[in-house]
C-alpha cells in the first residue's frame, strides 16, 4: 500500500487512533469506536444521492439493492457526524473520492472484526464494493488483512466449525460421505462444531470437560482473561501442543513439545490473496520436539487407528484429492510457479487471480452477490459515569500476539509498549502525569500500568496492546461479548476508568492484574 502511495495512489485511513498508516494518508477519519456501520452507510448514501453507483453492475450481478438503499437513506451526514464523531464534510469528501475513483480497494483488519457485530461491519464494507462495482477486477477488491501468517490457510484446511478442507460443508451428506469414504469409513459428526467462544461457553455449562489446544494461547489471548483462565483451569483434562511453554501450557495436564517453527517445518502456507506457497525445513527441531504430523499420527496409533507415517507432501496430496479448489496444486507446480491462487481445479489450471471475476460475466456465472441491509449498533460495554473512557486494543508492528515468540527479544521499538496510551487532556483532567502508574478498571477486573501521553489520541479514548501479558494483563479488562455469527469477541470496545494509585501502594510501573469476581490467575 505504501508503494502505491509513493506512485500516486490516495490513501484514506479510518481508525479511532492516528496510526502510522494515518500518517501516510491523504485523509484520516478518526471515528468513534464502534461506529463503523454508521460511517459506511453514510458513505453509501452520498454515493447514491450523487449518482455514482455502477448501475449496470448492480442490475446484472447483485441482489437486494432496493432494500439496502432504503436502509442507508436514514444515515444522513448529520446523523453520521453525530454517531461517528467525524465532520460531515470529511465523510462526504471520502464518499466522493471512493465513488468517483476508477479503481479502489477497501482493506480492513481486527478493528472491524473484533466487535459484537463483526459480521455486519464486514457486510457494510462489502456493500460499498458492490455499490461501485469495485470487486472482481484489477486494482479493486475487499481485502481482510490477516493478523497472522497463514490464517487463511488454517481456514482453507478446515479449521472452521462448519467446514471441511476447501470450505466444504460438513453438514452436506454427500460431502460428509466423500470424506468418510476416503478415510476408510471414518465415523465423524454430521453437524457443525463449536467455535472458540462457544467452547468456553460449553466449559462454563460443564458440557466441555477436556480440550486439545495446538499453537494457541487462550489463557492470555481471550477476552475477559480471568474467566478464560478459570475455565481452562477447571477442565478435567487439558492438552497443549506448542513450540513454547505458554501460559496456557502451564495450566495443562499434558504438554506435547512440537517442532513446528517456520524453519523446522515442511508444508504449505496460504496468504491473504489465496496464494498457496511452499514452506521448506531448514533446521531440525530441538531435541525432544516432534513434528506436528508425527505427534498426531502417534496419538492416532495409541487410540487404535493407523494413520501411517505420511510426509507433508503426502498429506497435501490427500487434501488435493478431496478439496476441488486445491486439486491442481501439486508440489512441483507450486515450486515452478512460486505459488498458485485457489481455486485451481486441475493441473493445467493457472490459478484464479480475481476470485469474483465471474460477477463481470454476462450472464453472471454462479450466484449473484447480495447487498446486506445492516444497522449500526453501539458497543455492548456502555460508557457510564463509573466507566467513562473507551478502551480499544491493538497490535504493534514489532510484536506478535501474546508475545510467546517475540517477547524474549529486546527491541528499541518496545519501549513504552506496556503502557496505557491516553490523551494529554485526559491526563490533565484526571490529575495524572505522563509515565505515572495508575489503576485501570473495567467491569471485569483491574490492572496497574504506566500511562503514556500521546497528542494524537482524542479525549475519552485509551489504547493498550495485548503483546505483553506478563507486564500488562490487558485482557483482564476486555469484554467477552461475541458476534453471534462469527464468534469473535468485542476486544475493541471496553469501558474503563482510570484511578490514581497512592504512592505507598505503587508498583513502580510493573502491571498487576486484579481479576473480577470468580476469576483465578
Say if residue 156 is in the same domain as residue 38: no
Q: Is 366 inside a domain boundary?
A: no
Say if residue 294 is in the same domain as residue 188: yes
Burial of 208 (0-12, 13-18, 19+ CB in 10 A): middle
Question: What per-residue confidence (pLDDT) applies to 495?
Answer: 96
Q: In whole angstroms, give the CA distance from residue 345 to residue 351.
A: 8
Question: What per-residue confidence (pLDDT) applies to 119?
Answer: 96
Say if residue 321 is in the same domain as residue 188: yes
Question: What per-residue confidence (pLDDT) applies to 505?
Answer: 55
Q: In whole angstroms, give the CA distance from residue 442 to residue 387.
A: 7
- DSSP strand E in 287-380: where? 340-341, 369-370
Q: In terms of residue numbers, what domain contains 446?
A: 389-515
Residue 329: C-alpha distances to residues 281, 314, 342 (Å): 19, 13, 9
Count of structural domains, the chain? 3
Residue 276's H or E segment, with its range, is strand 275-279
Sign of the torsion formed by the C-alpha atoms of 86, 88, 93 and 96: positive
Which regions of the chain are under pLDDT 70?
A: 260, 397-418, 467-471, 503-521
Helix, strand or coil for residue 270? strand
Question: What per-residue confidence (pLDDT) applies to 415?
Answer: 55
Q: Is 417 inside a domain boundary?
A: yes
Domain with residue 160: its CATH number is 3.40.50.740
pLDDT in tens, 492-512: 999 999 999 876 554 444 444
Question: What per-residue confidence (pLDDT) applies to 62?
Answer: 98
Question: What per-residue confidence (pLDDT) applies to 504?
Answer: 58
Q: Is 66 inside a domain boundary?
A: yes
Single out the residue of 126, 123, 102, 56 nearest to residue 355, CA to CA: 126
Say if residue 164 is in the same domain as residue 114: no
pLDDT in tens, 350-409: 999 999 999 999 999 899 999 999 999 999 999 999 999 999 998 776 666 666 666 666
Question: What per-residue confidence (pLDDT) applies to 441?
Answer: 96
Q: Is 384 inside a domain boundary?
A: no
Domain with residue 456: its CATH number is 2.40.40.20
Single out the residue of 346, 362, 506 nearest to residue 435, CA to CA: 506
Among residues 348, 377, 397, which one ends one of the domains?
A: 348
Number of Cβ within a 10 Å radius of residue 431: 8
Question: What per-residue confidence (pLDDT) applies to 518?
Answer: 30
Contact 476, 423 (CB under 8 A): no
Say if residue 193 is in the same domain as residue 341: yes
Say if residue 436 is in the same domain as residue 299: no
Q: In whole angstroms, give the CA distance from residue 364 to residue 284.
A: 50
Say if residue 155 is in the same domain as residue 257: yes
Say if residue 105 is in the same domain as residue 42: yes
Q: In whole angstroms, give the CA distance from residue 26 to residue 13.
A: 8
Q: Is 367 inside a domain boundary?
A: no
Sign of the torsion formed by the C-alpha atoms of 132, 136, 139 and 143: positive
Q: Is 365 inside a domain boundary?
A: no
Q: Is 482 inside a domain boundary?
A: yes
Burial of 422 (0-12, 13-18, 19+ CB in 10 A): buried
Q: Is 109 inside a domain boundary?
A: yes
Grid cell of 261 as nine digits: 517453527
Question: What per-residue confidence (pLDDT) applies to 128?
Answer: 98
Domain with residue 119: its CATH number is 3.40.228.10
Say if residue 102 is in the same domain as residue 241: no
Amino acid at each position: 500500500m505504501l508503494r502505491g502511495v509513493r506512485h500516486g495512489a490516495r490513501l484514506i485511513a479510518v481508525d479511532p487512533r492516528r496510526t502510522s498508516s494515518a500518517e501516510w494518508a491523504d485523509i484520516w477519519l478518526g471515528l468513534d469506536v464502534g461506529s463503523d456501520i454508521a460511517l459506511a452507510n453514510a458513505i453509501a448514501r452520498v454515493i447514491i444521492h450523487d449518482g455514482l453507483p455502477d448501475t449496470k453492475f448492480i442490475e446484472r450481478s447483485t441482489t437486494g439493492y432496493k432494500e439496502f438503499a432504503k436502509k442507508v437513506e436514514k444515515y444522513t451526514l448529520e446523523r453520521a457526524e453525530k454517531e461517528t464523531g467525524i465532520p460531515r464534510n470529511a465523510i462526504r469528501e471520502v464518499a466522493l473520492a471512493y465513488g468517483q475513483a476508477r479503481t479502489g480497494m477497501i482493506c480492513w483488519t481486527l478493528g472491524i472484526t473484533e466487535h459484537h457485530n463483526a459480521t455486519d461491519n464486514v457486510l457494510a464494507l462489502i456493500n460499498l464494493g458492490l455499490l461501485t462495482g469495485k470487486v472482481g477486477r484489477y486494482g479493486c477488491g475487499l481485502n481482510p488483512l490477516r493478523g497472522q501468517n497463514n490464517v487463511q490457510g488454517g481456514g482453507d484446511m478446515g479449521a472452521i466449525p462448519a467446514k471441511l478442507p476447501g470450505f466444504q460443508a460438513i453438514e452436506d451428506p454427500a460431502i460428509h460421505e466423500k470424506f468418510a469414504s476416503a478415510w476408510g469409513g471414518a465415523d465423524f459428526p454430521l453437524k457443525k462444531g463449536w467455535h472458540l467462544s462457544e467452547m468456553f461457553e460449553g466449559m462454563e455449562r460443564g458440557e466441555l470437560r477436556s480440550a486439545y489446544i495446538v499453537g494457541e494461547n487462550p489463557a492470555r489471548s481471550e477476552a475477559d482473561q480471568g474467566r478464560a483462565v478459570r475455565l481452562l483451569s477447571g477442565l478435567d483434562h487439558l492438552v497443549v501442543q506448542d513450540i513454547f511453554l505458554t501460559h496456557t501450557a502451564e495450566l495443562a495436564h499434558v504438554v506435547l513439545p512440537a517442532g513446528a517453527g517456520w524453519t523446522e517445518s515442511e508444508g504449505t502456507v496460504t496468504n491473504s490473496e489465496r496464494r498457496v506457497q511452499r514452506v521448506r525445513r531448514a533446521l531440525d527441531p530441538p531435541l525432544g520436539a516432534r513434528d506436528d504430523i508425527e505427534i498426531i499420527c502417534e496419538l492416532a496409533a495409541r487410540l487404535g487407528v493407523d494413520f501411517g507415517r505420511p510426509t507433508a507432501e503426502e498429506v497435501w496430496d490427500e487434501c488435493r484429492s478431496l478439496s476441488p479448489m486445491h486439486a491442481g496444486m501439486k508440489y512441483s507446480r507450486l515450486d515452478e510457479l512460486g505459488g498458485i491462487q485457489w481455486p485451481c481445479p486441475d493441473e493445467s489450471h493457472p490459478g484464479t487471480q480475481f476470485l469474483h471475476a465471474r460477477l463481470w460475466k454476462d450472464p453472471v456465472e454462479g450466484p449473484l452477490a447480495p447487498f446486506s441491509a445492516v444497522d449500526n449498533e453501539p458497543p455492548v460495554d456502555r460508557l457510564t459515569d463509573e466507566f467513562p473512557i473507551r478502551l480499544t486494543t491493538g497490535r504493534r508492528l514489532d510484536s506478535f500476539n501474546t508475545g510467546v515468540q517475540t517477547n524474549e527479544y529486546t527491541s528499541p521499538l518496545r519501549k513504552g509498549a506496556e503502557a496505557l496510551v491516553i490523551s494529554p487532556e485526559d491526563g490533565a483532567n484526571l490529575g495524572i502525569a505522563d509515565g505515572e502508574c495508575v489503576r485501570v478498571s473495567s467491569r471485569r477486573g483491574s490492572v496497574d500500568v504506566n500511562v503514556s501521553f500521546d497528542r494524537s489520541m482524542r479525549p475519552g479514548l485509551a489504547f493498550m496492546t495485548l503483546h505483553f501479558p506478563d507486564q500488562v494483563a490487558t485482557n483482564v479488562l476486555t469484554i467477552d461479548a461475541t458476534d453471534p455469527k462469527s464468534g469473535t469477541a468485542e476486544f475493541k470496545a471496553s469501558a474503563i476508568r482510570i484511578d490514581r494509585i497512592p504512592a505507598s501502594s505503587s508498583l513502580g510501573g510493573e502491571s498487576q492484574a486484579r481479576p473480577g469476581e470468580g476469576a483465578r490467575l
